[in-house]
Structures are given as C-alpha cells and as structure tokens.
Amino acid sequence: MKCKCGCGQELSIKASKEAQQPSRQKRNMGYIRGHRHKGHLHPNWNGGRFISTQGYVLIYKPEHPFCNGRGYIAENRLVMENHINRYLYPHERVHHINGNKQDNKLENLLIVNMSEHMSFHIKNNPSMLSHLKNNTFAAKFTYDEIKAIKLLAMSKIMKQKDIAKLFNTNPRTIRTIKANKRLYHQKVII
C-alpha cells in the first residue's frame, strides 16, 4: 500500500494492515509518519510563500540545492537565478536597490559580493559604520593575553562574563578561547 499523500513511498506491512482496519482513532493511518500534514496537506498551507522575521519573502523549494533546513529559499535569489540561468554562489548576495525587501522585481535587484553589499548599506545608513568601528569584537589580544584568558577560564576562578569585562570583550569570545577554537574575528598578535 502506498502513502496517501501522493509521495509514492510504500508503507510498512504493519502500517498498511492497520490502515485497512476501520477506526476513528487511526486517522493518520495510510500516511508515512510526518506526511499527513506536510506541504499542501497542512491546514495552514498558503502556497509555500511566507515573509521571514527579517522581512524577506521565502518560497518553498525543497529541491533547491541552497534551501534552508525547512526547504525554503529567498524569492529574490530565485528571481535572480532565473534571470542569469544558473544558481547563485553562496558568496553572492542579492541587493534590493530601493531597500524594500519584499519588492523582488528584476529591475530592483542587483548581484553583489559581501563587501559591496555592506558598502551599499553603509552609504544609506552612516550610523552603521560607527557601530562597526566601535564593536567590542574588534579588540586585539596578544598571545600572553590569550594564555591568561585561557588560564582564568579553565581554573574557574572567575566567571566568563567577569573575564569578558576585564578584557573588554564579550563572553562568547571567552568561550571560544577556552574551547581552543580559531578566532576569525580577533587579530591575534604573536
């Protein structure tokens, strides 16, 4: 017996036998687990299109190689990919010229790299530049400071948030140093 959702997958022998028995409690029978309320079968389905918390229009395309974990991809990327007849590379960004994230007309979209994209936004919002310059993760640590941070964090003499205040950084950086992870955003002077 095949799944009722239309995916074409076969049900297990046990599930197909139970699906043939009439019962009000077995309303999910005939479906593979998770298939009954998936996609267009879900009661809240709105055509596979919704607006994310960041304001972008997302489209349900689970077959797209760069979709997120739920199977959605930004509509602006899809429009640009259709125009240039190839998938966008992960480092390529699609900039909305008029600033409206929901206006995905081709004449409003522009392919840029990350640094060009940041420069567009800094030109439109100069306060963003001062935020980037004053950010706490731009601090520099010497090799000795990293050793001291690691020693304090490992010995548990101080809490990580207190160590972060002492070295004028955030606790996440202290956790990164403690875990021996590479610091991409820190300039380490040895």
Mean pLDDT by 10 residues, the chain (190 residues): 73 56 55 67 76 91 89 93 92 89 93 83 67 49 76 83 85 82 46
* Amino acid present at 184: Y
Where do the domains of the chain lie? 1-43, 49-133, 136-189
pLDDT at 119: 78
pLDDT at 23: 52
What CA–CA distances, in Å, run from 90 to 32, 44, 87? Answer: 34, 31, 9
**Secondary structure class of 2 (helix, strand, coil):** strand
Q: Using CB atoms within 10 A of its CB, is residue 73 exposed (0-12), middle (13-18) or buried (19+)?
A: buried
How many of the other CB atoms lie within 10 Å of CB of 70? 8
* pTM given for the model: 0.51
pLDDT at 136: 42
Question: Within its chain, how far is the Cα of 57 from the centroid?
Answer: 14
For residues 22-48, one letter each, b for 16 or more C-beta atoms within 10 angstroms of the residue's C-beta and e for the rest, the string is eeeeeebbbbbeebbeeeeeeeeeeee
Nearest to 53 by CA among 74, 30, 22: 74
pLDDT at 58: 94
| Residues 171, 160 contacting (CB under 8 angstroms) | yes
pLDDT at 29: 66
